[in-house]
Structure 1
């Protein structure tokens, strides 16, 4: 015979079932991003930023708030530190939240980012978010390490732009299978 207290333990309030779905989707995609970042070799010294691509996919799918996106960025910054190949991995604590917040702001804008029936929002948000995060990262690196302006402009900035272009392609290609797998909010 069940008591009233036992009945309350299994009661689910209607409408609350998917409240934290965004956390699960983001965690799975970031885990995939970590694995890909570890195993992807550099080509000409450049590798895609799989973590940015994955959080852009997660943010596009779940349409999280800006505050939640900042949290995603902080988590991404923390998990980037041990696997980073950069000279100053702690700069990820600033650069990744910047990228995630930019992505969330772009996702919540109400402009159409389509060509015909193809939604280009994933590619565009990934490209701009990668530039925002990368620019923040290399600026911190330049200031902290007192790097010459020529290294910043001609060595580091082109790498950020190249990674942004790569991330645009990756995010666009992976978004639709991820949407079929995880579902996603329309808009």
Structure 2
């Protein structure tokens, strides 16, 4: 009898379940942004950013996969009123930052700070990219509506805090429900 050898293929790309998870989370983000987002007045979470941050936390995509997730999120943002096309730049930047932060250790004992810190920083990256592109377009002569930078900065930081809270709350239950390994308390 010959010895049987089981070869395990190396993962190349996202699995079908990963793609479905990203799609479902982005869809949930869009629905929440449409229905729940309208209930907030000044400070409101950006549920689409929160959901792609959560997806990246759960599936740990490669760099190019994170870019694609960001582009999909930016395309989804085009459905909502606002400044067209800028999200096609700002959301991939936020997704790239989120994917890169996955490599930075952020644990205190068994408690992981990744959900809250990475989401906060990624939301800031997306927000500041958005405002930079918006003002660059404005000063280049494009017909875009702007508000004072101080107001934008307040909105960006408020959104980052709210997104961080949402992702922190959802991360452990989703990780456990999806069977993505032992979930650390955070």
Same fold (TM over 0.5): yes
Change (3 A) 1:24 1:140: same
SS of equivalent to 2:61: coil
Distance 2:110 2:71 in 1: 34
Q: Which residue of 2 aligns with 1:91?
A: 86
Q: Tell me if 1:104 matches 2:104.
A: no
Q: TM-score, normalising length from structure 1?
A: 0.81
Q: TM-score, normalising length from structure 2?
A: 0.81
Return the offset for 1:150. Answer: 8.2
CA contact (8 A) 1:126 1:168 kept: yes
1:121-167 per-position Cα deviation (integer Å, ceiling 9, x unaligned): 111111000000000001111121238x9812x11111101100111
Q: Which residue of 2 aligns with 1:74?
A: 71
Q: Which residue of 1 aligns with 2:4?
A: none
CA contact (8 A) 1:25 1:182 kept: no
Q: Tell me if 1:28 matches 2:24.
A: yes
Q: Which residue of 2 aligns with 1:9?
A: none
Q: Tell me if 1:136 matches 2:133.
A: no
Q: Show structure 2 runs of 5+ residues with no match.
A: 1-6
Return the offset for 1:108. Answer: 2.3
Change (3 A) 1:22 1:108: farther
Return the offset for 1:60. Answer: 0.8
Q: Which residue of 1 aligns with 2:157?
A: 161
Equivalent residues in 2 for 1:52-63, closer than 5 Å: 52-63=49-60
Return the offset for 1:118. Answer: 2.3
In the alignment of these two chains, the number of paired residues is 169
Q: Tell me if 1:184 matches 2:184.
A: no
Displaced runs of 4 or more, over 4 A: 13-16
Q: Tell me if 1:117 matches 2:104.
A: no
Return the offset for 1:185. Answer: 5.7
Return the offset for 1:21. Answer: 2.7
Distance 1:185 1:141 in 2: 41
